[in-house]
Amino acid sequence: MFLVGVLVRNVPHINIAQHILPHWTSCLRNFALTILLLRTGFKIMSIRRGSSNIFYRLHSLPFAVELFTSACMYRFITKLPWSWSISLGSIISSVSPSIILTLLLQIQNLRHTNSIQSQIAAALIVNNIFAAVIVAITWSTENNAANIILKLLEPFGEILVGVIVGILLCYIPPEDFVHNLFFRCVFLVGSSALVLFTLSAVHQTFVGHLAVLVLSYVAAWGWKKGLKTNQMLLHKVDAILNTLWLFCQTLLFGLMGCDVNLSVINARILGFVFVCLFTGLLVRFVISYVVMVRTQITKRERVYCSLALLPKAESQVLAAYILQNALDLGDEILQPYGYIVLKMTVLAILLTAPFGATLLHLSGRYLLKTPTESNDESNIALVTRRKSSEDSVESLNGDDVTSEAEQQFMDISL
């Protein structure tokens, strides 16, 4: 659907996307993203204890290394100022929760899938929060210490909002309320959309995603621990969210493709983007693999976790934010920089979104083992252990029989 949206926007005579107002496009995309984040919050609750070290290794270091590498390359290749290079590096280093979460949630029957997909989901949300904070600090009109500290504290404010709303959803409506399932779904989706729309309208960046993720996790945890009379309610809500996502998935990716304008691309920018993007992704892949060396997952699963942070799609939101700020300032020097950032972001989306989605979909069946394979391996090991134990028992019994026969022979001879 992403490629269909690109064609609808850029093919002559069928450019119906130009008639869709940007405000409505943003609203519909945010609503679809709300459903996706709610599903992700429910899945994160399934992280097993002792396996959360993947999240702690992926959420900051690979992003920081790719940001530093990309910023240096953009500074010396495109001759952008350092502030613009850092902003562009943070935009390109951010990943697409829509594409990655959709692919991870589709792989349901693989070994360790719930744990891996949940931790990758949490890590990429934190990556995007870091990117939004860096862009906000770089483009802040008040570059003082108090403003920088305020920007750094915004993610903690999101977590607080998500926890408060999630706790309220644990008790509203009451457990014995009529049509409990219907009203819980309405309150869950409505409150999540309200939080995301409100925070997005205030900050115009990725801020709001973390609040919805925490909200859904807290609500799901509260329902699981508190609803003693109907433990199936949590599974029913998850099934309803899956049904809503069938519609929102098409809407989200189609609108994302409609936002891509190919008319801003030229050959010179294409070469710069390819070199910088390939170098940054290569460095990030290596660092992501290295930081997970001493974990409980296998080598193939480490490769999959490193590949899972490849697609980029929502980064155009931050690029449009930077371009709009440059246009509002009215500076003729900054406006060309803003267009360069927008062009390079569009190309990064076109190069990574379809390729990354296809690569993750095809490699998931190979890099992650199925439960049947893991069960077969465990059964083979169990059978081997049983055979060895039986052989040892037989050998012991044989020794006992031999010793008894020798004793009888000695008694007879005496």
- What CATH number is attached to the domain comprising 365? 1.20.1530.20
Q: Which whole number is the average pLDDT over 202-216?
A: 73
Quick one: 234 and 381 in the same domain? no
Residue length, the chain? Answer: 414
**d(C-alpha 105, C-alpha 231), whole Å:** 22
Quick one: 304 and 395 in the same domain? no
> Which ranges of 172-266 does DSSP label H, i.e. alpha helix?
180-203, 209-226, 233-258
Query: Which H or E element spans position 143?
Result: none
Quick one: 278 and 402 in the same domain? no
Residue 217 corresponds to which amino acid? Y
- Please count the structural domains in the chain: 2
What is the per-residue pLDDT for 403? 47
* Higher-confidence position of 237 and 395: 237
3-state class (DSSP) for residue 337: helix
What is the per-residue pLDDT for 164? 92
Query: Which H or E element spans position 375?
Result: helix 371-413
What is the per-residue pLDDT for 389? 53
Quick one: 90 and 128 in the same domain? yes
What is the per-residue pLDDT for 373? 47
Look over the chain and give the mean of its residue pLDDT values, rounded to a whole number.
74
Quick one: 245 and 387 in the same domain? no
pTM check: above 0.85: no
Q: Is the pLDDT of residue 46 over 80?
A: no
- Among 33-42, 47-56, 109-118, the range with the most confident prediction by mean pLDDT is 33-42
163 is written with which tokens? 């926890």
Rg (CA), the chain: 27
Quick one: 325 and 407 in the same domain? no
What is the per-residue pLDDT for 401? 42
Task: Quote the domain boundaries for residue 396.
Answer: 374-414
Quick one: 304 and 407 in the same domain? no
Quick one: 295 and 383 in the same domain? no
Q: Which whole number is the average pLDDT over 316-343?
A: 74
**d(C-alpha 162, C-alpha 213), whole Å:** 7
Cβ–Cβ < 8 Å for 163, 212: no
Q: Which whole number is the average pLDDT over 201-217?
A: 74
**d(C-alpha 37, C-alpha 23), whole Å:** 21
Quick one: 356 and 392 in the same domain? no
**d(C-alpha 349, C-alpha 260), whole Å:** 8
Q: Is the pLDDT of residue 212 over 60?
A: yes
Beta strands in 85-152 (DSSP E): none
Quick one: 291 and 251 in the same domain? yes
Question: Which tens digit of pLDDT belongs to each residue from 106-149?
Answer: 665 454 455 666 677 777 777 777 777 787 777 665 556 666 77
Q: Which whole number is the average pLDDT over 275-304?
A: 85
Quick one: 284 and 390 in the same domain? no
Quick one: 294 and 399 in the same domain? no
Question: Which tens digit of pLDDT belongs to each residue from 136-186?
Answer: 777 665 556 666 777 777 778 888 988 999 999 888 877 777 777 888 889
